[in-house]
Amino acid sequence: MAENKDPRRFLDPKVLSKISRLDIVARLVVEGFVTGLHKSPYHGFSVEFAEHREYVAGDDVKHIDWKVFGRSDRYYIKQYEEETNLSATILLDTSESMKFKSDDAPMSKLEYGSIVAASLAFLVLQQRDTVGLVTFVDQIQEWLPPSSHPSHRNLILNTLNSLKPQKKTGLGKIFHEVADRVKRKGLIIVISDFLDDARRIVSGLRHLKYRRHEIIAFHLMDPAERHFPFESMTTFKGLEELGTIITDPKALRQSYLEEIENHIWELKRGCRQDRVDYVELLTSQPLDITLSQYLATRAEMKLA
């Protein structure tokens, strides 16, 4: 990923314009960003003024703005922003396999995942909660602790912009380390292609759940990885220290697809058992549609 590109490219207008209209941003889900972490409802008003609205019967008269009444001879209520305390940490896999991009994909898994990370960080910061970023391979590369400071968005974008995929994935190990280091209960967002042993992955996610974190696992896959469309003799170049072979893909297709389905099934089963949200994202899919649909579904579940 080139370092001289504008980091603002991750804030894809099509993505953000679609997501920003969801109920979670409109504060219809008062408890916070898609997780239900804010267990107690936030009644009343907080300390930060937002806007005025016209008084209606039943409103508490102590919130009438008498200065506005004096100027307009009409009653208006001071409205305030809801105060929340969500702490989100985004874990982004930057291992070598994440740089894969087939001819049918508009971008690599790492580029796609970086847009997901930037968009979700933008949403969390927009609702004035804190968000951090952790990039990792088989060990942690960058650790930006959660913050809501105005400059934090640029720090996250600059970190995403300078990513260089390398080495092998070590997901289970990383999850255990994050579980030990993140003491405060919060939201953990994992963005990865999950190319590791499913049992180790689920074990690490279970450790995070034991620490009472809410978890969303975004499983990124290139369409070629998911559907194996190859027909003629093909050169397969291994990533993460694997070799290169030339073979007839027809001889591999059935066993490959079975292996992929089994891997996904194990991940889904483990996530379901531990109440982890599992979301499969293909890098050929329009992110503004797939991500907004997921967030809207989560918002509806929290309102139900």
Could you tell me the pTM of the whole model?
0.72
How confident is the prediction along the chain (304 residues), in pLDDT tens digits per residue?
444 455 556 555 465 556 544 323 223 222 333 333 333 322 222 334 445 667 666 666 777 778 877 877 877 776 554 444 688 999 999 998 899 888 888 888 998 888 888 888 877 887 778 899 999 999 999 999 999 888 898 899 889 888 888 877 889 999 999 999 998 888 999 999 999 999 999 999 999 999 999 899 999 999 988 876 655 444 445 444 554 555 555 667 777 788 889 999 999 999 999 999 999 999 888 776 777 777 777 766 655 5
Per-residue pLDDT of 76-104, as tens digits, reads 776 554 444 688 999 999 998 899 888 88
DSSP 221-247: E-HHHHH----S-EEEE--SS--EEEE
> What are the angstrom distances between the C-alpha of 156 and each of 25, 76, 120, 270, 291?
20, 40, 11, 30, 20
Domains of the chain (ranges, CATH numbers): 7-28+84-303 (3.40.50.410), 49-80 (no CATH)
For residue 210, count other CB atoms closer than 10 A to its CB: 10
Q: Rounded distance, CA 109 to CA 106, Å?
A: 10
Enclosing H/E stretch for 178: helix 171-181
